[in-house]
Homo-oligomer: A and B are copies of this chain.
Amino acid sequence: MKNRKVILAMVGLPARGKTYIAKNLSRYLKWIGFKTRIFNLGDYRRKLSGTCSNHTFFSIDNEHAVAIREKCCSEAMIDVCKWLGGDGEVAIFDATNTTRQRRAFLNSTLAEKMGYSLFFIESICDEQTIVESTVREIKSKNPDYRGKNKEEAYTDFMKRIDHYQQRYETLNEKQESYVRYLKTFNAGEKVVFYKPNNLIENKIINYLRSSHIRSRTIYLTRTGESELNFTRELGRNTRLSARGREYAQVLSKFINESDISDLKVLTSSATRSIQAAALIQAPKQQLKALNKMNWCEFDEATYVETKFPFPQDLTTKTGYRYQHDFTNGETYDDIIKRLEAVILQIEHEGNILVISHQKVLQCILAYFLDYSRNEIPNIQVPQNTLFKLTLSGYDYNLEHIPFDIPTIDTHEVEG
């Protein structure tokens, strides 16, 4: 699979989830290692001509506004080229791109002239209930309507959609011979893809296939203290200590009493992880991909007795075991690789609880909270704490639910 600089150009009417898809894709692509940036045409428009709470701006008859919008598009395209001309690997062009004319322009400039790979992502939604709830939930936070009456904002936005609807032409490979695309109907119910031809495009098909827009909660926690934490040994497959079993009890009580609908529990294949989930009343699945960072020979070491057998430069906080593969053991990069399928599964599931280990949870949190790779080693994942992730607008909110059980803090040294 070729790995070129890629432009993902969104296509679709307003309130079809284009920005939601763009933000998710960006988060995912960054997490798996591609330098990705979103270029939102609405942001360019607001920068150039301020917020706009009147739909008439979007009428095709409004010549002044059309000129402004053309200018915004050109500026965004220049920035896209700057980004890809430098370090950037993926540019997500988040605009409506609803006409063949506009798409032909993107193709002639960005693909033919600049040589970038241009892949369209169209979101189509004919279920009016999805559209209406999107307009109410997301667009009420739209900067264009800040401080406005909600009902008026809703009505105006629906009229804005009408203006676009008049000129909307769905992607069609017969009439636009150059296009390559992915189309998603009604938030993933049906998906069509046409001629994806590189790794990134295949990754996003895979990703969009797995994700959904149903509301749900993601819970994460480490196992409680293990016997090895207690003896200050590293790694190995050990059992929970007495205090670890106490955490398993309070955690299970909390989860069971929260009465979470259709909860599913994912654990690693480590005994202490399975023990931690044992009392929870929900279907469970063990995944080796959730196992702790594998340190192989160092897994047998005691970190008190041996006073850190690691090379000195790896014990610093930043970059700590990040890319340096100093033994047969794993790096953060390796963990992210084996977590790719787990993240797709989590995206696919409803309410879910993941019971795993420190460094694995750092990587999972980095995904949902959009941390860059070099921030991962600094993400705090205290023991005896339940992490609760919920979507708010386009971003995830993290809530800490600590349980008061004494434990040994192993940040820095536990896999």
Binding site for B on A (CB under 8 A): 1, 173, 189-196, 202, 205-206, 209-210, 288, 294, 296-297, 299-300, 328, 334, 337-338, 345, 348-349
Cα(A297)–Cα(B195), bound, Å: 46
Cα(A153)–Cα(B30), bound, Å: 55
Instruction: Give the residue name and chain of the B residue nearest to A210 (CB).
Output: B202
A173 partner residues in chain B, CB cutoff 8 A: 190
Instruction: Give the residue name and chain of the B residue nearest to A185 (CB).
Output: B194
B190 touches A1 (CB 8 A): no
A191 partner residues in chain B, CB cutoff 8 A: 192-193
Instruction: Give the residue name and chain of the B residue nearest to A288 (CB).
Output: B334
The 4 tightest CB contacts between A and B, nearest first, are A296-B296, A190-B194, A192-B192, A191-B193
Instruction: Give the residue name and chain of the B residue nearest to A289 (CB).
Output: B337
A193 partner residues in chain B, CB cutoff 8 A: 190-191, 209
A338 partner residues in chain B, CB cutoff 8 A: 338
The contact sample of 19 A-B pairs, CB cut-off 8 A, is A1-B348, A173-B190, A189-B194, A190-B193, A190-B195, A202-B209, A205-B209, A206-B206, A206-B209, A288-B337, A294-B296, A294-B328, A296-B296, A296-B297, A296-B299, A296-B328, A297-B300, A299-B328, A338-B338
Q: Separation in Å of the A228 CB from the closest CB of chain B?
A: 14
Instruction: Give the residue name and chain of the B residue nearest to A295 (CB).
Output: B328
A194 partner residues in chain B, CB cutoff 8 A: 189-190
Cα(A348)–Cα(B334), bound, Å: 23
- Could you say which of B206, B328, B345 contacts A1, with CB atoms under 8 Å apart? B345
B192 touches A190 (CB 8 A): yes
Cα(A189)–Cα(B173), bound, Å: 11
- Could you say which of B189, B195, B300, B345 contacts A195, with CB atoms under 8 Å apart? B189
A209 partner residues in chain B, CB cutoff 8 A: 193, 196, 202, 205-206
